Amino acid sequence: MAWVILGIAVITEICWALSLKWAAVQGSWQASVVPVTLSFVNMGLLALAMRGLSAGTAYAIWTGLGAVGVIIFGVILFGEKVNAAQAAFMALIVIGVMGTKFFAQA
């Protein structure tokens, strides 16, 4: 169950980071409520996942997949650019996450 919660936390992390950019574009204090709320949900889910996983494993997967997800959705939603070298290093992050999951004790 900890892995499922961590997966939801990764999705929330991606939404949180993208909502920061969205709130900046909106420029209103009301839009700032979204990333603030998501940050509480995000941290709560990560903490909950850490009950069943080591902190290092959970955090590595959360940050790694969160970063890759933000880059991918930044390209899709905001037209941001990614070059071949960046894509290759993103693939290395995903490979690292897969290895971390594969060799995790929990």
Question: Would the pTM count as exceeding 0.75?
Answer: yes
Closest to 6 measured CA to CA, from 59, 68, 69: 59
pLDDT for residue 101: 85
Of 71, 70, 45, residue with least CA distance to 58: 45
Query: 7, exposed or middle or buried, with CB in 10 Å at 0-12, 13-18, 19+?
Result: middle
Q: What is the mean pLDDT of each run of 10 residues along the chain (106 residues)?
A: 96 95 87 93 96 93 95 94 95 92 77
Burial of residue 79 (CB within 10 Å: 0-12, 13-18, 19+) is: exposed
Give me the residue label for tokens 């933000």.
70
The one-character DSSP state at 29 is T
Domain containing residue 97: 2-102
pLDDT in tens, 15-42: 999 999 999 888 888 889 999 999 999 9
Domain count for the chain, please give it: 1
The whole-angstrom separation of Cα 59 and Cα 78 is 26
Element (H, E) at 55: helix 55-78
Average pLDDT across the chain, whole number:
93
